[in-house]
Amino acid sequence: MSALPFNAAEHQASTLYLPPGSWTTVLDCLCEHFKAISREQWLDRIARGRVLDAAGAAINVQLPYREGLRIHYFREVPNETPIPVSETILYADEHLVVADKPHFLPVTPAGEYVEQTLLRRLIRRLDNPHLVPLHRIDRHTAGLVLFSANPGSRAAYQALFPTRQIEKRYEAIARALPDLSFPLVHKSRLVEGEPFFRMREGAGTSNTETAVEVAEKKGELWRYGLYPVTGKKHQLRVHMAALGAGICNDPFYPQVLKDAEDDYANPLKLLAQGLRFIDPVDGRERRFESEIVLHW
């Protein structure tokens, strides 16, 4: 029986195709390509089997360099600061896991976060290295995240999102907009902004759409129900800011708050509150609701 191909996503590994150069070994190339990581660190990773070839086998320090060679490596952040929040598993079966993500916890490894992510925490809790998130929500956003637990059924669940077969409901608290008529639909074209981590509305055909309703009013603040038809990065945060009601405690919109540190007592008032879809495996209607509450 032939071995299954190595899947970097399932193993939470990053992939590098070795660039053109005149290095002698893969190790030499890695040291030059990732200047922020010392040779000693690469030697340590290789010794611990944290650098793999295309088949998923650990490499050795003498492996000859070859342009285009596919290498998988595991990102590591030494002395990673713990994030003092806890996730909740709302549902789990052999195919699907539904988690309630708290504010400030990233979904997947990025930047300074590796072990302190929802994905790595769930892998440890459920002892399932095959977990893969089916979608993303921002680190600052709380609420529901779906994970595929089984490579065999993964494609069926992944297809729900681009084909818009899943209904998503968010809640947000922001300032009142008494001059607008609700419900309304906001469409715009989102493009990359400045700094690099922001998005902005630009000219051209719209590529995002959000339905907005008012769920509750409390003085100068309203609770909004948001129904994104599309799923672009920071879509809801940009759309609410464009309407004139940036979401409360947003460090990026409408303006970037310089040197803003995580304030666990005052999180972004945005919650992925509900998900509804027809399960592609058994045909049942699935409804999930977050247990997190956005407080005024």
Task: Give the pLDDT confidence of 76-132 residue by residue, as tens digits.
Answer: 776 788 999 999 999 999 999 999 999 999 998 877 788 899 998 999 999 998 999
The CA–CA distances, whole Å, from 281 to 20, 21, 153, 230 equal: 45, 47, 7, 24
Assess whether pLDDT exceeds 60 at residue 2.
no
Residue labelled with tokens 């977990």: 131
pLDDT band at 164 (very low <50, low <70, confident <90, very high): very high
Distance from C-alpha of 211 to C-alpha of 82, rounded to nearest angstrom: 36
Assess whether pLDDT exceeds 50 at residue 155.
yes
Domain boundaries, given as residue ranges, for the chain: 14-73, 88-289
Please, what is the average pLDDT of the chain? 92
Assess whether pLDDT exceeds 70 at residue 5.
no
Assess whether pLDDT exceeds 50 at residue 1.
no
Q: Residue 7: what pLDDT? A: 67
Distance from C-alpha of 54 to C-alpha of 60, rounded to nearest angstrom: 13
* Chain segment 218-275, per-residue pLDDT in tens: 999 999 999 999 999 999 999 999 999 999 999 999 999 877 789 999 999 999 999 9
Q: Specify the amino acid at residue 65.
A: Y
Question: 88-289 has which CATH code?
Answer: 3.30.2350.10
Question: What does the radius of gyration of the chain's CA atoms come to, in whole angstroms?
Answer: 22
Q: Residue 207: what pLDDT? A: 97
pLDDT band at 11 (very low <50, low <70, confident <90, very high): low
Of 7 and 58, which is predicted with more confidence? Answer: 58
Asked if residue 32 lies in contact with residue 61, where contact means CB atoms within 8 angstroms, the answer is no
Of 56 and 276, which is predicted with more confidence? Answer: 276
Look up the pTM and report it.
0.79
CA angle 131, 136, 141 (to 5 degrees): 120
Lowest mean pLDDT among 5-19, 151-165, 221-235, 246-260: 5-19
Mean pLDDT of 27-49: 89
Q: Residue 9: what pLDDT? A: 57
The answer to whether domain 14-73 has CATH 3.10.290.10 is: yes
The secondary structure of the chain, three-state, reads: CCCCCCCCCCCCCEEEECCCCCCCEHHHHHHHHCCCCCHHHHHHHHHCCCEECCCCCECCCCCECCCCCEEEECCCCCCCCCCCCCCEEEEECCCEEEEEECCCCCCCCECCECCCCHHHHHHHHHCCCCCEECCCCCCCCEEEEEEECCCCCHHHHHCCCCCCCEEEEEEEEEECCCCCCCCEEEEEEEEECCCCCCEEEECCCCCEEEEEEEEEEECCEEEEEEEECCCCCCHHHHHHHHHCCCECCCCCCCCCCCCCCCCCCCCCCEEEEEEEEECCCCCCEEEEECCCCCCC
Asked if residue 43 lies in contact with residue 59, where contact means CB atoms within 8 angstroms, the answer is no
Residue labelled with tokens 């997947």: 108
* Chain segment 166-185, per-residue pLDDT in tens: 999 999 999 999 999 999 99
Distance from C-alpha of 175 to C-alpha of 257, rounded to nearest angstrom: 18
Mean pLDDT of 278-287: 97
Distance from C-alpha of 137 to C-alpha of 106, rounded to nearest angstrom: 8
Q: Residue 41: what pLDDT? A: 86
* Chain segment 60-79, per-residue pLDDT in tens: 999 999 999 999 998 777 67
